[in-house]
Amino acid sequence: MYPSRFAYEAPTSIDEAIALLDAGGGEAKVLSGGQSLIPMLKLRFASPATIVDINNIPDLDYHRVDAEGNLHIGALCRHVDLEQSTTLGDTHPTLAAAAELVADPIVRSRGTFVGSVCHADPQGDWAATMVAQGGYIVAQGPNGRREIDIREFVLGPFVTALAYNEMAVEAVIPGAKGTPRGSYLKLERRVGDFATASVAVSLDMDGDVVRRAGCALAGVGGRTIDANDAISCLEGKTLTDDSIDQASDAVAAVAEPRTDHRGSDAYKRHIVQTFVKRILTNLARSEQKAA
Amino acid sequence: MALDELKIGGMGASRRRVEDNRFIRGKGKYIDDVVLPGMLHMEIVRSTIAHGRIKSIDTSAAWEVPGVRLVMTGETMAARNLAWMPTLSYDTQAVMATDKVRFQGQEVAAVIADDPYIAKDACSKIVVEYEQLPAIVNPEQAQDPEMPLIRDDKVNQTSNKVFDWEIGDKEATDRAFAEADVVSSLELHYPRSHPSPLEPCGSIADFDRSTGKLTVYMTTQAPHIIRAAVAMVAELPEHQIRIISPDLGGGFGNKVPVYPGYVISILASILTERPVKWIEDKTGNLISTGFGRDVYLKGEMALRKDGKILGMRMHTTSDHGAFFADAQPTKFKIGLMHSTFACYDLPAAHLTSEGYYTNKAPGGVAYRCSFRVTEAMFFQERMIHAAANDLGMDQAEFRRVNLVKDDMFPYRTAFGFLTDSGQYAKCLDLGLEAIGYSTFKQEQEEARKRGKLLGIGISTMTEPLGAGNSREYDIIGIKMFDSAELRVHMTGKAILRTGAKTQGQGHETTWAQIVAHELGIPADDIVVEEGDTDTAPFGMGTYASRSTPVAGAAVAMVSRKIRAKARKIAAHLLEVSEEDIEWELGRFYVRGNEERGVTIQDCALAAYSNVPDGLEPGLENNAYYDPPNLTWPFAAYICKVEVDPVTGVWDVLKFVAVDDCGVRINPMVVEGQIMGGLTEAYAMANMQYITFDEEGNCIGANYIDYLLPTAWETPGFELHEVVTPCPHHPIGAKGIGECATVGGPAAFVNAVMNAIEHTGVRNVDMPLMPNRIYEAVKTGNDISGMPPVKAG
Amino acid sequence: MTSLYDEVQTPTEGVPTRRITVVVNGEKRTVDVEPRLLLAHLLRQGLQLTGTHVGCDTTSCGACTVLYDGRPVKSCTMLAVQADGHEVETVEGMASASELHPVQEGFKQEHGLQCGYCTPGMMLTSKALLERNPNPTEDEVRWALSGNLCRCTGYQNIVKSVLWAAEKMRAQQGEDA
């Protein structure tokens, strides 16, 4: 309940923050939403020497779609900002579906998208949506900015490719070239529970043909599972019972679930398959309605 | 003219709550809100392993932390004979481990410092070395001769068994089975659960050396029992001990036992000569304090082919953790488990029971039920459900055939209880009508054709509340009466104190309603206090739904004593003899001359200014109530669910509750209790449990693993009422606080079992998590035991 | 000495503190705190506003919910230093000098509390909801409150309390309009 002592800095610019991380020599930790870090401090699972609070850095709380349709999410954009967006469902439906399922409503008012991805929890919802859609994290360090593809960003549970003196300033998720479709399903026993299994599906449609399909899983392995290759069997096809079955089987096969008190590995794999099928079937139905 | 009872906040009024006035303003005074001058703060170091010898404890670094005042270990306690203390079940319990730790989370050391942050810093510097021993995590392992002896501290303890117990008539029961056309059997585990009130436990111990008085603020539902226990354990004179129970953020039975933290804080205060505050964190609460349930139940029913139950036998195996610390009436090792089947006309029954020590937290409290009655009624309704199916009989019809009929009261159960009132069939019929039972079978069949699994589950039960009469009931020898003390001031306002202790049940509001009913004093003119042993009359506290049946009765009785004295004063004021005085709500009048009367307020003033010769001044009294019998509320809970066979997720479509708790003092409060209880029932049926891995690590020691439902998952409830007054209770009330938690789980489980019964599944142990339902549907096998799944 | 735990005023040597100014219930409060002090403890121990309660240690229960710049946050999962320059509203700030907030009234009218421990958090989350959505459905209320646990009430009356308050607030708006 009571964190151990740490030094605290509240920089007002990104450069200042970077300098502090650099000086910290790996013992400094970025605090953004704090909804993952502070619980760890309280249980003393983390005891950094310095906390670098970035909440006072201006102009980081945005989310906007650029001229090419790419979504830019600033480091201080809160989950609730995405949940309450009236346009996200049109441009990035997979993220829109996930937005209301992250943690609980109160945590969502403080926690950040970028912070959540950087926390790299294998259960993390946002990382799964990014891996399914592609995209990158913009990291800034003493030597300037670099873009880290999301598939190279998460290295393992709670470990990312960020150097100790780098800060993630933005996440960029590409838009669809055609019509964006997608969804996110999560089996949780109650709001705020860790997922038994979650599935993010993102489709880029050319009429009723799948131009690009992306998929990622959370909660069914030691890290976010990249199922993009598995679901790519949908590409160039329409959504039919056969193509949907093929895709859901392929995705289920790449899950790496472990048996625990939420269920057996077979059960979790079955849920993955079920969710992929449900997402795709619902999308197919709404396609038909639209047509 | 008699007063309008509802207008003055008498019985039957949904009077808005008095305690709300401070709670909605954030002005409640819970234990952590209490600040005493010079107060220090205590944090406890808990064992990380479930079973092991303590090789060494190094506290030297902890002492060096600036702001640390005292570091205590088992040795500190042992030097003052306080390393062990007696439990409420005549066992002993470690206050702080000396030789061994016997469950994960057991108290090993404590730090007292200027603030809890510093105390925690120092705790993290204490190094404990263990020699790990194999951990026993269930009664089966406890019986394994290869496994170690947990209670090697006890002389003459040669096994891990705590007790054997039995009740009932074995011969008669055996004969019943010999005659049976059909025998239905069932075996299940009621998993370990935890009352988990939102506010954890805590104490502030303040020993004043100059006066020799020990004051302890404590989260306790039973302050007087605590005073007696502290007197025994700390060997301090009882009149020099004051226990103050402040506002409690929920109790549910968790705040009844005497916890090591309280005792440690008391010694810490004596040693530091300062007040010492100990506030538990949620992990400490879940991992070490009084849990509920964790009983294996096995039973059989002897049935005649027309549906009549001829006999029932059952065996329970209970898991008591490392110390037998159940808080329950002493005579009954497994509480009131033998109240099972009390609502049915059961000719013969036999119950055997055994209890075991395991390397888990001690206890088995009455978690929102009357002493093991949740297990009793859950098992009853699960067996009834299975038996009806085994006979090929409709669930409602099977119950109708066997429920005790209205004209059979008073009814002596096969286990010796005397139930005295009820309209069981009426409650059941009301519930069936409300849920739409008559058309359900067809609805279910049609849905199944479309791949949707619907189910209905029924749970009917009567619960023994208000323990209990002094002939049979006591806790460590203290009889289970309760008390009320009423003082009416000269302006007709009053103060009432009782030996109960509310934790959200609304006593400040409802007890005043009883007084208003008896005396016609408006409820708003009556202040109610509980919880301070220096001022409250002796009582056994509030748990097991005993307050309305016992303390509430005492409130009515003391009010009647006051009224009897006021009658004498009225006769004096009206200058007639007492025989000519009549009473209506709020006033006495002369028989035959209604105009001539005096109000109760007139009598109160006269009590201080104009008493008749020979009568003492003042208008106050007390009453100690020894209930003649238990009370017997009845409930019919009916649940309709839909199960998704593909994921195993199930949703409640409708839930109907018909409760007969006798006369309702405050209908709004009664309904609140029912809905709260049904939610805990839902939680236990669906997601709430504590389990352990093979090393004895506790899974469920925080709110990430121990799941409580939110407003989103929790279903809505449709409530109905039937009123059959209790024939022996002064105001005909029976008590209601826990009925729904007792009877509710079986309604949910029976509904889900009904939805999937076409697969051949007969039982899935709680919690019915999606993965377990899925496994059951897929394989057609029963699922027993705790997650991970052990297919049966 | 971590911060503002009362009575024992012996500051620990060499422990740096930070001076912060927080507007709490409309009033500017300036205090010196250690960075590790949780906002919940600043409110409870430092400012003696004990209406905000602590109910768990894993950011799960929401009993500690306060409004931070108008948004509900779990005060046990924020550092006090983060509130520097910001506005915090606790349950003690809900009522005006002369009357209760409709949400507080609603909870009393509709029996939305029993032990009262989750109530401050519930009410503040409800207040924030109604400011954003003056006419919520039952589902919207339940969803908004799904980060606040209650053990006593079973939630049904809490929902009724919020809807009662919503109706009263809409009526008041209508009068003011």
Q: Give B29's contacts in chain C (Cβ within 8 Å).
A: 50
Query: Quick one: which of C129, C39, C54 has its CA closest to C87?
Result: C39
And the tokens for B448?
A: 């199944």
Q: What was the pLDDT predicted at B324?
A: 94
- When pLDDT is averaged across residues B340-365 and rounded to a whole number, the result is 95
Q: What was the pLDDT predicted at B477?
A: 85
**Residue whose tokens read 């960020």:** A162
Q: What was the pLDDT predicted at B520?
A: 97
Confidence of residue A26 (pLDDT cuts 50, 70, 90): very high
Q: Is the pLDDT of residue C1 over 70?
A: no
Against chain A, the chains showing at least 3 CB pairs within 8 Å are B, C
Q: Give the sign of the dihedral formed by CA B283, CA B280, CA C111, CA B506.
A: positive
Percent of chain B with pLDDT over 90: 92
Active-site residue B143, yes or no? no
Query: Quick one: which of B792, B742, B747 has its CA closest to B253?
Result: B742
Chain A residues at the B interface, defined by Cβ less than 8 Å, are 1-5, 44, 104, 187, 189-194, 196, 259-264, 267, 270-271, 274
Q: Is the pLDDT of residue C11 over 60?
A: no
Active-site residue B738, yes or no? yes
Q: Give C81's contacts in chain A (Cβ within 8 Å).
A: 8, 10, 53
Q: What was the pLDDT predicted at C97?
A: 87
Q: What was the pLDDT predicted at A291?
A: 66
Q: What was the pLDDT predicted at B364?
A: 76
C132 close to C140: Cβ distance less than 8 angstroms: no
Query: Quick one: which of C37, C123, A46, A291 has its CA closest to B118?
Result: C37
Residue C147 CA to residue A103 CA, distance in Å, equals 8
Q: Which residue has the higher pLDDT, C15 or B684?
A: B684
Question: Residue B78, by phi and psi: left (phi above 0), alpha (psi -120 to 50) or beta?
Answer: alpha
B412-457 tens-digit pLDDT: 999 999 999 999 999 999 999 999 999 999 999 999 999 999 999 9
Q: Do C125 and A109 touch (CB under 8 A)?
A: no
Q: Is the pLDDT of residue B400 over 80?
A: yes
Query: Quick one: which of A58, A49, A62, A60 has its CA closest to A20?
Result: A49
Residues in chain A: 291
- When pLDDT is averaged across residues B64-81 and rounded to a whole number, the result is 96
Q: How many CB atoms lie within 10 A of CB C46?
A: 22
* Residue type at B131 in one-letter notation: E
Rounded alpha-carbon distances, angstroms, from residue B320 to B292, B576, B589, B742 = 10, 64, 60, 20
Query: Quick one: which of C152, B384, B252 has its CA closest to B376?
Result: B384
Residue B84 CA to residue B78 CA, distance in Å, equals 8
Confidence of residue C3 (pLDDT cuts 50, 70, 90): very low
- When pLDDT is averaged across residues B669-695 and rounded to a whole number, the result is 95
Please provide the DSSP assignment of B260-323 as one string.
Answer: HHHHHHHHHHHHHTS-EEEE--HHHHHHHS--EEEEEEEEEEEE-TTS-EEEEEEEEEEE-TTS
Q: What was the pLDDT predicted at B790?
A: 43
Q: Do C58 and A38 touch (CB under 8 A)?
A: no
Against chain B, the chains showing at least 3 CB pairs within 8 Å are A, C
Task: Tell me how many residue pairs between chain A and chain B have CB atoms under 8 A apart.
Answer: 69
Q: Which among C36, C124, C140 is the top mutation candidate for probing chain A, defined by the most A β-carbons within 10 Å of its own β-carbon?
A: C36
pTM comes to 0.96
Own/partner pairs for B147-151, CB < 8 Å, 24+ apart? B148/B51, B150/B51, B150/B102, B150/B322, B150/B357, B150/B358, B150/B359, B151/B102, B151/B322, B151/B357
Residue B24 CA to residue C106 CA, distance in Å, equals 10
Q: Do B774 and A262 touch (CB under 8 A)?
A: no
Active-site residue B412, yes or no? no
Percent of chain A with pLDDT over 90: 93
Q: Give B506's contacts in chain C (Cβ within 8 Å).
A: 114
Please provide the DSSP assignment of A49-79 as one string.
Answer: SEEEE-TTSSS-S-EEE-TTS-EEEETT-BH
Query: Quick one: which of B589, B561, B547, B706 has its CA closest to B191?
Result: B706
Active-site residue B93, yes or no? no
Helix (H, G, I), strand (E, B) or coil at C156: helix
Q: Do A39 and C59 touch (CB under 8 A)?
A: yes
* Residue type at B669 in one-letter notation: V
B36 close to B206: Cβ distance less than 8 angstroms: yes
Q: Do A105 and C82 touch (CB under 8 A)?
A: no
Q: Do A267 and B775 touch (CB under 8 A)?
A: yes
Q: What ipTM goes with this model?
A: 0.96
Q: Give the sign of the dihedral formed by CA A36, CA A40, CA A45, CA A51.
A: positive
Burial B517-526 (b: 16+ CB within 10 A, else e): bbbbbbbebb
Q: Give C57's contacts in chain A (Cβ within 8 Å).
A: 1, 42-43
**E strand or H helix at B93:** strand B92-94
Q: Among A41-45, A120-124, B87-91, which range has the highest average pLDDT?
A: A41-45
A247-269 tens-digit pLDDT: 999 999 999 999 988 899 999 99
Residue C95 CA to residue B208 CA, distance in Å, equals 39
Q: Is the pLDDT of residue C4 over 60?
A: no
Q: Do A53 and C15 touch (CB under 8 A)?
A: no
Q: What was the pLDDT predicted at A156?
A: 87
Confidence of residue C6 (pLDDT cuts 50, 70, 90): very low
Confidence of residue B356 (pLDDT cuts 50, 70, 90): very high
Cα of C97 to nearest chain A Cα, Å: 28
Q: Do A189 and B770 touch (CB under 8 A)?
A: yes
Question: Residue A10, by phi and psi: left (phi above 0), alpha (psi -120 to 50) or beta?
Answer: beta
Task: Give me the phi and psi of B78, to 5 degrees please.
Answer: -60, -35
B559 close to B46: Cβ distance less than 8 angstroms: no
Q: Which residue has the higher pLDDT, B543 or A94?
A: A94
* Residue type at A100 in one-letter notation: E
Q: Do A107 and C59 touch (CB under 8 A)?
A: yes
Chain C residues at the A interface, defined by Cβ less than 8 Å, are 15-16, 18, 34-36, 38, 54, 57-60, 62, 65, 68, 71-74, 76-79, 81-82, 84, 125, 143-148
Cα of B67 to nearest chain A Cα, Å: 14
- When pLDDT is averaged across residues B745-752 and rounded to a whole number, the result is 98
B697-711 tens-digit pLDDT: 999 999 999 999 999
And the tokens for A170?
A: 């933005």
Q: What was the pLDDT predicted at C8?
A: 35
Q: Of B24, B117, B248, which has the smallest distance from its Cβ to C100's Cβ?
A: B24
- When pLDDT is averaged across residues A274-279 and rounded to a whole number, the result is 98
Residue B606 CA to residue C166 CA, distance in Å, equals 50
**Alpha helices, DSSP H, located in B523-620:** 553-574, 600-609
Q: Of B17, B196, B282, which has the smallest distance from its Cβ to C108's Cβ?
A: B17
* Residue type at B100 in one-letter notation: K
Q: What was the pLDDT predicted at C13?
A: 62
